[in-house]
Structure 1
Amino acid sequence: MSANAEKEETEKSENREKRNQSYQEYVKKVTPKHSVIKNCLKAFVTGGAICLLGQILLHMGNTLGLDEETAAGWCSVILVLLSIILTAAGWYQPLAKFGGAGTLVPITGFANSVAAPAIEFQKEGQVFGIGCKIFNIAGPVILYGIFTSWVLGVIYWLI
């Protein structure tokens, strides 16, 4: 290899190294910083507020004379309805961004995961919009939930 070829190869290598370094600095600058403790506290407070609302609804149902099972059913229906209303109004997404897993874990998160695609794709029609896209987010949850319960049922049956 000639001296010129070696010099060019060295310059290319140095340029690559500089680009990689500047790219790494750019990535560091634009990557959001997250505090795990802060996110956990926000999820705890948000999920706790949803559960508190559920307890209030349950207590109100009992106060109105409903038995425990009927009150729990109405509580679930109302929480799902509130979640769908908040999703349609565009308020659930900012709440989920703030509360993280605190909004995703309860029944309200599941209702949001079904309602959001239905609302988003309704303009594509009943069949190809809502019908095809409604379970984009919730579908895997349903699939793996059913599959896991089936596997556990077989294990339970074998034991």
Structure 2
Amino acid sequence: MPNQNNSNNQQNQDKKYKDYVEQISPKPPYIKNYIMAFIVGGIICMIGQGINDSYMNFAGLDKQTAATCTSITLIFIGALLTGLGVYDLIGKRAGAGSIIPITGFANSIVSPAMEFKREGYVLGVGANLFKIAGPVLVYGIGSSILFGLVYYIVQIIFK
């Protein structure tokens, strides 16, 4: 019986503490965060569209090639801004607006690499390069293979 009383007392104290923490914790400004994410994400997309249009109109690239070059350019810009410390400042204000576009992917690869550079290029940069982006790549590639197989089987069955 004494163990059950101690357990109940501990649970009551835990609940009181959680309630207290919830009561005094500042509430995040959700609406402001949504608006900033929308604006910054939109600006990143507008820049990407401008780069894409420039490749098509001034460099004479076809739509597919221009889209590929635009992705490469945005990844480079995201990596460069991360290296200069600017992308982190954007991310603090924009939240998901800076993470979701392809520039956020570049940031997720470059940030851990920069953080562990002092440990050397092999054990630092090489070992930690895909620490954040690795699971995204694994599940993205895995799901694309799965959906590709399902699509292939459906094409065979309904032909």
Which TM-score bucket, shorter chain as reference? 0.7 to 0.9
Could you say which residue in structure 1 is the equivalent of 2:157? none
Deviations 1:20-47 (CA, angstroms, capped at 9, x unpaired): 53553234323x4124333222211111
- Which of residues 8, 32, 35 is equivalent to 1:38? 32
SS in 2 for 1:51: helix
Partners of 2:136 and 2:58 in 1: CA distance: 35
Q: Is the radius of gyration larger for structure 1 or structure 2?
A: 1
Alpha-carbon separation, structure 1, partners of 2:76 and 2:98: 15
Which shows bigger deviation, 71-80 or 20-29?
A: 20-29
Residue 140 in 1 paired to residue 135 in 2?
yes
Inter-partner Cα distance in structure 2 for 1:116 and 1:82: 14
Deviation, 1:146, is: 0.9
Q: Which residue of 2 aligns with 1:5?
A: none
Report deviation, 1:62: 2.5
What's the offset of the Cα at 1:19? 7.6
Per the TM alignment, residue 140 of structure 1 is displaced from its structure 2 partner at its CA by 0.3
State the SS of the aligned residue for 1:151.
helix
Q: CA deviation at 1:111?
A: 0.6
1:118-129 equivalences in 2 (<5 Å): 118-129=113-124
CA RMSD of aligned residues (A): 2.7
Matched, 1:92 2:92: no
**1:102 and 1:18 mapped to 2: Cα distance?**
39
Aligned to 2:21: 26
Match among 96, 117, 124 for residue 101 of structure 1:
96
Q: Identity over the aligned pairs, expressed in percent? A: 38
- 1:92 is displaced (CA, Å) by 1.1
Aligned residues: 150
Tell me, yes or no, if structure 1 residue 71 matches structure 2 residue 39.
no
Structure 2 gaps, min length 5: 155-159
Q: Does 1:58 align with 2:63?
A: no
